[in-house]
Amino acid sequence: MLLRTFLAVYRAGSFTAAAALLGLSQPTVTSQVRTLEEQLDRQLFERLPRGVAATSVADELAAQVAGPLDELAVVAGRGRQGEESSEPVHLGGPAEMLSVRVLPALAPLVEQGLRLRVTAGLADDLLEGLRAGRFDLVFSAIRPRGRTVLATPLMDEEFVLVAAPAWADRIGPVACDDPSALHGVLHGVLHDAPLVAYAEDVPILRRYWRHVFHTRLTRSPAVTVPDLRGVMAAVVAGAGVTVLPRYLCAGELDSGKLVMLLDPDDPPINTGFLVQRAGAPVRRQVTLVRDRLLQEARHW
């Protein structure tokens, strides 16, 4: 019982989350972990303001007991053979990536019996939910830290500066290898073009300005839409200029609804990761989803 509770805390990253998974009270979980630490005469977890961090002793212990405990759980559950196939895979990620890439890739698996429960959100919130056991897999645009999760690089996003044809005509062509031309555009029509962003602090635009123009963007957006698909729709309609992942606007670029204003040799790139809890029990459906996404990502 003590080892089972320890493993739940190790996987969930907090006493509270482990208690919810085990159906126990948080004080009971805390007491059981302390009892195990006293028996081993070793500290297993470092208590943090939010959750716990596993020590190297905990890492070693988890490696020793996770397999046998999971096998016991499988044996105990053999009388409920249908539960594995009926349990949904809980998946989280940014709304745009889920809609454009992930769900189309997983659709064929639904016909084979896969059940999905999908949640869109910000990376930090989703990763916290993953550690707490609310998700099986999370697509994250940031590299997660800590020993409680495992992150596999899934795809690289290239960011492009785009506008509708009318704005592109006003700004004019720009030679990326001409610093004076870049400076002129930056302080000319582009400076006056309305910015469209998904957040008030324009993080993607700020990164593009810093990486390509080597300057700090201090302007506020004219339009904010908390979904990059909405940002793209506004820019296609002529609302202004924005920076988007190329995968999201590839069709609009091909059709001419959007025009790429610059084509730098070194565009900003962001790596997306497929993340799961370290040492989580092996589930066939979760493995199926993970392998499918890794396979499909080769063509993204």
In total, how many domains does the chain have?
3
CA distances 55 to 31, 38, 42, 148, 262, Å, are: 18, 15, 9, 11, 48
Domain encompassing residue 103? 85-156+271-297
Same-domain pairing of 148 and 172: no
CA distance 300 to 297: 5
pLDDT at 142 exceeding the cut of 70: yes
pTM of the shown model: 0.69
| Percent of the chain residues topping a pLDDT of 90 | 57
Same-domain pairing of 39 and 182: no
CA distances 193 to 112, 166, 187, 217, 224, Å, are: 49, 11, 10, 13, 15
pLDDT at 109 exceeding the cut of 80: yes
pLDDT digits (tens, 9 = 90+) for 73-89: 656 554 444 444 568 99
Output the domain CATH number for residue 151. Answer: 3.40.190.10
pLDDT at 184 exceeding the cut of 80: no
In order, the DSSP letters of 109-126 are HHTTT--EEEEE--HHHH
Structure token digits, residue 81: 């053979």
Question: In terms of Cα–Cα distance, which of 106, 68, 67 is closest to 89?
Answer: 106
Same-domain pairing of 179 and 239: yes
CA distance 159 to 267: 7
Same-domain pairing of 132 and 33: no
pLDDT at 67 exceeding the cut of 90: no
